[in-house]
Structure 1
Amino acid sequence: MSKSIVRAVDLRQQVYENLRSRITSGEFDKDTRFYERTFADELGVSRTPVREALAMLEQDGLLSQAARGYRLPRMSRQQVIDVTEIRLLLEPHAVASMVRDTSPGELKKMAAKIRKEVADSRDSGAYISSHGRLRELILGKVRNRALVDAIQQYEDSIHFVRVSTLGQADWRRMSAEGMLELADALEAGDAEAASEIQGRLLTKARDSFLEFSDAEG
């Protein structure tokens, strides 16, 4: 009689998912250093799965190698400008197509979800995570998955831009106001307005980061 094989728990994947979630939610300060021993002790695992998880995060663009360990990546002003140019070509079109392809009832539900998320988090650091969930909600309704894949190619590599900007109360307020305008456009089924608002949100994010970068020196 054969016995089924019990698959070992993939500690590397668990560590990877734990750290990825925390990085993209903005939990770590921009100057945080990521060391194998630190997270091995914190998570109660050996250094090997932590080492492998950190390498995976570097491959994803979420971490960069430092003299010792890893750190959050840095993007130059020009990189942010260039990536935003690409996103401005893709995301407004994706949002407009989503509005055209989605039923009025579903758009109304999405608008309500956006308003609730913003109301629950706009005045706190939780807005960073909330903002990410709302992007997933919107992109999840885009029918052209190849277009979504192209957009998400830049999602992780610029997460620190959102952390830098949305961590500031004024910029968080501007983003929240823009998301509420987007909710109104979705509920109205106005694809053109939704596209314009999405473009404006991306432009504000770029300009806010450049202002942040200038202030940092």
Structure 2
Amino acid sequence: MNPGVDTDLYTTANATPEKRPSRRDQVHAEIRERIMKGEFTPTTRLVEERLAEETGHSRTPVREALIRLWANGLLEKRDGGYYPVLPDLAELRDLYELRVTIEIRGFTRVIENEAVRHDLRMLEELREHWRGLRMSPPEPDPSFVEADESFHRTLLASSGNFALVAALGSVNERIRPIRMYDFLTEDRVKDTIDEHLEIVELTLAGKLPEALMALRRHIGESFEVVEQRAARAYIQMTLHRGR
């Protein structure tokens, strides 16, 4: 595999479905779900003792969960504590526009320049991986965003411009916390897998204009879902704040 391409793609998606989540993962998932549903306001300090009591677990996994949620951008640190991050929908639109621009360039540089070609081996490996996911889809989980990001990084890297891949990575880091709202249902995971396969298969077939249209459609649908769900969480946060 060429330099700059993920070698440990889709670790979340590759997790064994039968494996029982650890206590720390359970606590992390519980608190994350409450945050994403808007159950806490941006002025609610998340206190270890209270969350441990509410979840029925010790403070240690709660503390670890808060650190992970902060690292993932769902929480912020201020006044010596953790607080939920209020989704910034205006910034989300701007960053999605930038994301689309970067990813589209991966195709247009190949379409416009006969000397530039996609790395077919890289794309074939990508296709095989996602065919496997179609056969055995992972459970809906916000962290599936990591698998989605890896697909798009590899697709872009196959066009040969790794500066574009780095730029996409920077954008992904900023929108990842809100993009987690995209993968909360089975239909969104299934649709994402199907759409990824459509894009990579069209690219391998040399149907680049069609692949580009499929990519635009795919990112646009993702944005609509993320915006709607993040907006609902925003409303819930503000409603709780007004109580």
Q: TM-score, normalised by structure 1?
A: 0.64
Matches within 5 A, 1:159-174: 159-174=176-191
Match of 2:90 among 78, 83, 92: 78
In structure 2, the CA distance between the partners of 1:187 and 1:210, relative to structure 1 (3 Å rule), is same
Q: Indicate the SS of the match to 1:70.
A: strand
Q: Counterpart of 1:201?
A: 218
Per-residue CA shift, 1:44-92, capped at 9, x if unaligned? 99xxxx99x999x49xx67522455235644322111111111121112
Instruction: Point out where structure 1 has 5 or more consecutive residues left out of the alignment.
Output: 1-21
Unaligned 5+ runs, structure 2: 1-23, 37-45, 53-58, 236-243
CA distance in 2, matches of 1:44, 1:212: 27
Tell me, what secondary structure is at the counterpart of 1:64? strand
Indicate if the aligned counterparts of 2:144 and 2:183 stay in contact, CA closer than 8 A: yes
Q: 1:29 aligns with which of 33, 36, 47?
A: 33
User: Aligned partners of 1:72 and 1:84: how far apart in 2?
Assistant: 22
* CA deviation vs aligned residue, 1:88-147 (integer Å, no higher than 9, x gap): 211122245479522444433322222223433355437444323323432443422222
Of residues 206, 229, 239 in structure 2, which corresponds to 1:189? Answer: 206
- What letter is aligned with 1:183? V
In the alignment, which of 111, 115, 118 is matched to residue 131 of structure 2?
115
Distance 1:54 1:123 in 2: 20
Q: Is residue 103 of structure 2 the alignment partner of residue 91 of structure 1?
A: yes
Shift of 1:203: 1.0
1 CA distance for matches of 2:164 and 2:119? 20
The answer to whether the 8 A contact 1:64-1:73 is kept is: yes
Instruction: Tell me if the contact between 1:64 and 1:72 (Cα under 8 Å) persists in the aligned partners.
Output: yes
Question: What amino acid is aligned across from residue 101 of structure 2 in structure 1?
Answer: L
User: In 2 relative to 1, CA 113–147 (structure 1 residues): closer, same or farther, beyond 3 Å?
Assistant: same
The correspondence of residues 17-166 of structure 1 with structure 2, limited to 5 A, is: 28-29=32-33, 31=35, 33=46, 41-42=60-61, 57=71, 63-71=75-83, 73-95=85-107, 97=109, 101-125=117-141, 127-166=144-183
Match of 1:177 among 191, 194, 199: 194
| One-letter code aligned to 2:33 | D
Contact 1:64 1:70 survives alignment (8 Å)? yes
Shift, 1:191, TM fit: 2.3
Aligned length: 184
Q: Following the alignment from structure 1 to structure 2, what is the Cα–Cα distance between the partners of residues 149 and 124?
A: 27
One-letter code aligned to 1:146: A
Q: Secondary structure, in 3 states, of the residue corresponding to 1:153?
A: helix
Query: Does the Cα contact within 8 Å between 2:76 and 2:82 map onto a contact in 1?
Result: yes
Cα distance in 1 between the residues matched to 2:100 and 2:134: 23
Q: Distance in 2 between matches of 1:118 and 1:71?
A: 37
